[in-house]
Structure 1
Amino acid sequence: MKISYLMVPVLFLLQACNHGAQTVAVQNYGTLLIARGYQNQTPISTCSIPIPAPSGIHTYNLQSRGCVANSGYFSMNNVASAVKVWFYDQLHCAEVPKQKPDKPKYANHWTVQVETIKHPTTTRWVEITELRDAAIREVVVPGIQLISREVIPFTTPDWTGQLSCVKIQNLP
């Protein structure tokens, strides 16, 4: 009889410990999906980059993530609001200077920043050229707002299939 009375508190204690362990599980902040192209209504050569936990800015060279450099499309899946994403046509995410130099080191390159503005954000496949053509502060697709765009236009840069690097910041 005494053993059964002792089992009840022990079972409650085990359940409490198990419940605490479940809440420590890794949280999923969504994913940024990249596609080289789009054929017959299907993305081709795709890869995904998980959205990092809230902290600093994380840089992802697409080739180092198993993606194809010079990709042309992106999509977001279940991404929280207030996630900033910078898209670059350069492999090393080189910043395009805001003050345009006479002989630019990064002539004909571009950088675009977007931010998610709803929770969660899941989008269709977006062609990078849509970011080129949108106005600053415009909602490009539901859940994504264009924040900034920097271009050094000594000649018109090629935007089609040029996405090669991204930076992501998940704000707390």
Structure 2
Amino acid sequence: MINIAVILASTRPGRRGEAVAQWVMKHASQRDDAHFGLIDLAEVGLPPLDEPLGPRSGQYTHEHTRAWAQTIAGYDGFLFVTPEYNHSAPASLKNALDRLYAEWNNKAAGFVSYGVYGGVCAVDALRPVLSHLEVADVGAQVALSMHTDFTNYTDFTPAEHQTAELAETLDQLIAWSAALAPLRTAS
């Protein structure tokens, strides 16, 4: 069975991502083609990058990095729930990505983004980073607008079509995660 991590990227007080991640998990849990686990970066609590060697070395000196590596290694794919901050992804997500290398390799990623314009700039900023980490990102994505998918810019009330967008994103993510399995086994 494919294991997918839903990674809640925002660590900000008052963040909107918790409601979005719970919506994702509600729909994902109804599927029988993968297992889903929620990882909240606010709970992981990674400090700013503090490893003396680059992640390609695989030599992690800090327990928090070793624990993070073990967590990520256990998944076949990732669905990033990310806001858009200043036309990019949050620093908490970039920090989490930058700590590891091999643990990300030969896996797939999808996106559920949110922001004034749907968070699409955050996703555009993440795609080349994930490519360098040898993560295959799927084309389908969910882009949630603060104007139409949140009441008063605070309460998450997704438009009806977003459920179909999520299903398509999950379909692609699971298919790509399964297709990359032979590469993970070989490495």
TM-score, length of structure 2 as denominator length: 0.28
Greater strand percent: which structure?
A: 1
Q: Which has the higher contact order (CA 8 A, sep 6+)?
A: 1
Larger Rg: 1
TM-score, length of structure 1 as denominator length: 0.29
Greater helix percent: which structure?
A: 2
